[in-house]
Amino acid sequence: MSDAALRAAMAEAFDAEFYGDRYADVTRAGADPLEHYLAYGWQENRNPFRELDGAYYRKKYLGDAPPDMSPLAHYVLEGRALGLPLNREEELRRFGDRDWSALVLQFLQASGMDLDHVDGSLFHRFVLPLFSAGAYRQRKGIIATLSDNQLLAQYLAFDFPQGAPPGPLFDSEWYSLQAQKAGLPPIDGRRGLFLHWLEHGVASRIAPNALFDEATYLARNPDVAEQFEGWAFEHFLICGLSEERRFSPLVYLEPNRTRALSPDGKSLNETFLTWAAGRPAGADGFAGMAAFLKSDRITDILHRATILEPKIGRSSGGRFQLLPPWQDADYADFRAIRDLIPLRRAKRIILMPFCKMGGADFLAGVLADALPSPDETLVLRTDQSDWVRPDWFPQKVTSIDLSAHLNLLRPDRRRRVLYELIRGLGARHVYNVNSRLGFETFETYGARLARFTRLYAYYFCSDQTPDGCEVGYPVSYFATVLPHLQAALFDNAALPARLTNRFALPAGQVNKLQVLYSPALNTPPETPLVHRQVESKSGRDRPVLLWAGRLDRQKRFDLVVEIARAMPDIEIRCWGRAVLDAPMDDSVELPDNLVLNPAFERFDELPLRNSDGWLYTSAWDGLPNVLIEAGANGLPVVASAVDGIPELLDEDTGWPVTEVGDVQAYVNAIRNMLGDDAERVARAERLYQRVVERHAGELYRARLAELEEVENG
Amino acid sequence: MAEHLESGVDISVIITGHRERLLAGPTARSAREAVAHAEARGLACEIVLVLDRSDGLTREVLTAGIGEGVRIVESDEGDPGQARNHGVAAARGRCAAFLDGDDLWSYNWLTAAWQMAQDRPDAILHSTCNIVFGDEENLWWHVDSEGPFFDPDYLDWANYWDAMSFAPTSLYRRFPFRRNDLSLGFGHEDWHWNCLTHAAGVPHKPVPETVHFKRRRKGSQMSVVSDSGAVVWPLEPET
């Protein structure tokens, strides 16, 4: 089916009215229901029409499907034609549907099996729910990409006739004992225990798993006791497993939050029962626990203890039975997150929020590249999944997104998980490059972490609210984090000077503040490009300035527009997109001499040679990478003289504008730059030299090594 | 000659009292009951009462409740692990068993633990389960560190066993409890002790058919730790 045909089929099956009514947030946001479903809704387990339960459908049928296939797509491509149940209720209703079972029975009998004593409906009521594709795949060592349905067919054709049980929930040893106790007909070794159970055990209502306790199931699930007329074990198989209903008096399972993201799609009940089945020695343990709870001994113990302290006996029936770690959902979440990381140990960890297009994201890549032994470095994305620029990171570095899992947890649990990851991985150095969770974890656990690892945090620049208040990580997470850090890292000297003054830092803390000038990404050209610009200027109709940055409030693109309007004799070519703020209003009319392009991929793809200078208008900043790149290429620059920028750009190396926001000040600086070629060349050359000397990659690497070494000594 | 041979004491019962006040009464009676059960089966027991920054009422209740023959050790630690260490220093028994000042044992605890210790003198013994009563009501199964249910990684995340263990006294001397520092956010001393002993290869095993009764009170130290995101003390050498 072509993409267009698939979309049309989905649009036809989709119920926009239902979706809009059911999900008021979509309606409030004014989003198109189908667009919303296809972009986000299916991943959030929303239902495309009333009958299709997104969570049920995904868990049930999409295990082998491509990760980007929505339930609706699967439904129109396959599910509808196969007549798959779309929700649990439908699955239950179809208990009486014998078509599938009749077909299987017919098939098996045609292949020579004697199944005269087997009720055909048992195939869809018991064989199907007990079948575990994952366990079968593992048992048979099947690594080929066979679907779950293909595996079921293989089981029915080859293993069922041999008497093999369909999955780990059928405990042969337990059933054998129970069958003997119940006085059922002798077990025919050739036909196997599972067939015996279908022929005799089901009718005698013998649950083939020691951990399922019918009395507990009915007591803990009163709706089943009231409404379900069949055997409780059957309800458990069809519904109770996936609905995580309690079934055992011995163990309380606490559902964890990340289980919906589990790659095997198993419910907690299935996970536990599979785990228990994988520990044959545990059967004695469970049997012992059950026997003890029913024993005269514990009755006697409780009786005598209650005489001493009546509170003990007050509510002995209502207690949860806790078997560590199954009562601990937080631990289950931690394990699920730990399992995302393929490394057992990591010498260095870099924490970053995400990888979009920002300077901090870029610097995380620079840092990963500069640190030794990249195969022992782990980059963890903690806040959002974006991984837009993998090319900024060395290939040998392992980068993992934890954010999807972490964001399902309570904030305090996220911090605990990150702490335990750092500890468990044995990291010697942990660098935080703008990860909010990293800062929060350093704040909460910094004193403890610092006992066995070395913490570093990058601070770039503060942000400003529209009414001029200073906000951001240097405000929120400096005073509380610095005492735990081995070093606070800065890409400019202005910010640490301000923080030193603000917090009246004593010498011991000041010594932790380290300025590491960021290296340029590309190797600088041998000759500053300003020479090429001056040589080629006669070929341009009018002078061309370049501007690039995020279209966010901080970068003052509005100033660029005003400058263009004030200088119709020049052209300004811009690259960028909004990252942190809302996208620019399309109704803003740009002047003819300003061209806005999407964000660039690489700095050297810009027309550096065929332009006349670089313009930078930020209202506040650290020491922006784009200016380092401009300097490394030997471009003449007009820039706002804010925060860290004057360390790079002064009257010797460019045209700094101190009156930030004053359009005329920028116009004057641009006129000065364009009006004197000799001075333009001289200042661009000096800027180039400053970058070469101060922002060299070797220098950055050496400073990092020095930092790690000093503390080792 | 080992001290216990000289003294003839099989089990030192070490009760730690702080400020449990009247709640210590059932504890004292419970200890007496378990001792009587053991003595009726030929075991020689002594009771060491460690009063750590204890108040007068707790002292009165415990001494009266335990009755004759109790040996009292005073300490000024304000720390449960250090209090236990004082008890161990005073103990003359071949084995020792801890009882916290507001908890109870099943009557058969000492006898059953002693019997199991004859087969497994290398192990630290715990009850089959803890029944938690009071402001929380649960039943915790104690997991066998040598058994199929044990997950060593979980011991890094949370504690498997509480402090009311039974083991050769020499083992408690070899692995003394460290001082708590809950303000730093590290968990209780018994968690660290369990990690330390487990890492040293000492198994932790439940004794069949025994129960400890753990009183849970609002605002107790246990509640403080579980609210504070406590983590285990690292065993790695500190930098």
Inform me whether the pLDDT recorded for A580 exceeds 90.
Answer: no
Is A447 in the B-facing interface, judged by CB distances under 8 Å? yes
- Coil/strand/helix, residue B125: strand
More confident: A632 or A94: A632
Amino acid occupying residue A183: G
* Number of domains chain B is built from: 1
In this prediction, residues A509-521 reach a mean pLDDT of 94
CA distance, residue B128 to nearest chain A CA (Å): 9
In this prediction, residues A695-699 reach a mean pLDDT of 93
Q: What is the pLDDT of residues A477-509, one digit of tens each?
A: 999 999 999 999 999 999 999 999 999 999 999
Q: Do A319 and B149 touch (CB under 8 A)?
A: no
In which band, very low, low, confident or very high, does the pLDDT at A94 lie, cut at 50, 70 and 90?
Answer: low
Rounded CA separation A672/A653 (Å): 13
**Residues of chain B below pLDDT 70:** 1-5, 219-229, 236-239
Question: Long-range CB contacts (< 8 A, 24+ apart) of A201-207?
Answer: A201/A175, A202/A119, A202/A122, A202/A126, A202/A231, A205/A231, A205/A233, A206/A175, A206/A178, A206/A179, A206/A182, A207/A233
Q: What is the pLDDT of residue A600?
A: 87
Gyration radius from chain B CA atoms: 17
CA distance, residue A325 to nearest chain B CA (Å): 7
Residue B165, in any domain of the structure: yes
Domains and CATH numbers, chain A: 3-86 (no CATH), 94-201 (no CATH), 340-515 (3.40.50.2000), 530-695 (3.40.50.2000)
Residue B238, in any domain of the structure: no
Mutation site, A216, A308, A428, interface B, largest B CB count within 10 A? A308
Amino acid occupying residue A159: D
Residue B234, in any domain of the structure: no
In this prediction, residues A85-89 reach a mean pLDDT of 79
Residue B239, in any domain of the structure: no
Q: What is the pLDDT of residue A582?
A: 64
Q: What is the pLDDT of residue A315?
A: 56
Residue B232, in any domain of the structure: no
For residue A189, count CB atoms less than 10 angstroms from its CB and return exposed for 0-12, middle for 13-18, buried for 19 or more. exposed
Whether A16 and A36 have beta carbons less than 8 Å apart is answered as: no
Residue B237, in any domain of the structure: no
Structural domain that includes position B145 = 3-227
Highest averaged pLDDT of the listed ranges A223-232, A246-255, A465-474, B140-149: B140-149
Closest listed residue to residue A460, CA positions, set A550, A386, A359: A359
Q: What is the pLDDT of residues A191-239, one digit of tens each?
A: 889 999 999 999 999 999 999 999 999 999 988 888 888 899 999 998 8
Q: What is the pLDDT of residue B222?
A: 46
Sorted by sequence, the CB contacts under 8 Å of residue A490 that are 6+ apart come out as A458, A459, A460, A496, A513, A514, A515, A516, A622
Mutation site, A252, A417, A428, A448, interface B, largest B CB count within 10 A? A448
Residue of A nearest to B28 (CA): A308
Tokens 């300035």 locate to: A545
Highest averaged pLDDT of the listed ranges A32-46, A105-119, A260-274: A32-46
Q: What is the pLDDT of residue A153?
A: 84
In this prediction, residues A542-556 reach a mean pLDDT of 92
Inform me whether the pLDDT recorded for A265 exceeds 80.
Answer: no
In which band, very low, low, confident or very high, does the pLDDT at A712 lie, cut at 50, 70 and 90?
Answer: very low
Q: What is the pLDDT of residue A711?
A: 52
Q: What is the pLDDT of residue B5?
A: 67
Strand residue runs (E) in chain B: 11-17, 45-52, 71-75, 95-100, 104-105, 124-134, 138-141, 166-168, 204-216
Say which CATH number the domain at B104 has.
3.90.550.10
Is A272 in the B-facing interface, judged by CB distances under 8 Å? no
Residue B173, in any domain of the structure: yes
Q: What is the pLDDT of residues A403-447, one digit of tens each?
A: 999 999 999 999 999 999 999 999 999 999 999 999 999 999 999
Q: Do A298 and B239 touch (CB under 8 A)?
A: no
For residue A648, count CB atoms less than 10 angstroms from its CB and return exposed for 0-12, middle for 13-18, buried for 19 or more. buried
In this prediction, residues A171-193 reach a mean pLDDT of 91
Q: What is the pLDDT of residue A123?
A: 82
Q: ipTM of this model? A: 0.94
Q: What is the pLDDT of residue B238?
A: 43
Amino acid occupying residue A172: S
Q: What is the pLDDT of residue A317?
A: 52
Q: Which of A289, A308, A447 is nearest residue B30 as measured by Cβ atoms?
A: A308
Q: Do A324 and B238 touch (CB under 8 A)?
A: no
Is B234 in the A-facing interface, judged by CB distances under 8 Å? yes
Residue B61, in any domain of the structure: yes
